Structure 1
Amino acid sequence: MKKRNVILSGLVLAGGSLYASEDTKSYVKGNHLKALEAVGIEAKAKDLRVMKTITDDNGKKWVFNEFTKSTKLIEAMEEKYEEDVAGAFISVQDEIMQAHAKPSDSIPTIVLDEALKEGYFAFSRKDGETLSFKIKYDNGSWEYELEK
């Protein structure tokens, strides 16, 4: 597989309150925990590491990732599949961010099933609202739907 440089335009994240926080790692992990809770996954801060598997209450396993650290996730997709799952994944992330992100939104949380073809992309707003998008790979592209 060919390597690709990942450049996502329109990334307007982590505004004022992140920089005002004395402990940015705790702040970022707190936002990830909130996003995971919004999609029905309870986790502990110590479990939030790139490519770490977490399990929901129903026993389903999810691969955790953070938007700004998704290189290993992209590489895993490229190694696992002949088809361009990774390139399409980069595109759907960009599409979601272009359409829905606002200044001061948190860094997005990504959780995918073990097959790396279905999961959630979520981030929180400054006002406390969390937007979560169900994402799924099918027939060469990733589709997404905003969950209510």
Structure 2
Amino acid sequence: MYEIVSGLPPYYDLSHDNDLAIKICQGLRPCFSGIEVPQLIVQLIKKCLDANPLYRPEAHEIFKILQDWCSSDQSEIGKQIKEAEEINNTLPAISLSYETHSKAVYTSRLLNLNNLPEPKNSDDYFKQNDNITSIEFSESLRFDLPQLNTN
């Protein structure tokens, strides 16, 4: 969901290694910066990224939420999407061009990730309103869409 909204794969600029796995266990989450994202979508993404799998919605629950959202343009999500589009339309037009970290791997592979810490959400995870990341990790993952290279 994050990739669909942002246009970027998560952690594209980081090495996909043991250090990233540890940071994710410690609360690192991708963030949106430079674009407006409807809060209902942000809240759903946060639920899907919860450190506790018991708090993550199941596929049929996500399907039901999306189905409900699509049923009416007069819904809250419709209003939020319209507001976000109005804000995003005032931003400079960009085409995404980015370089993936040489050690960012988006194919299935077996990783030996022993001794990872117990997964947790960062202390400020649910306090964030306009993005998804923890303040603690925000500097290592922040990107500003208008400042990405354009072609």
User: Structure 2 length as normaliser, TM-score?
Assistant: 0.27
Q: Which has the higher helix share?
A: 2
The structure, 1 or 2, with the larger RCO (C-alpha pairs under 8 Å, 6+ apart) is 2
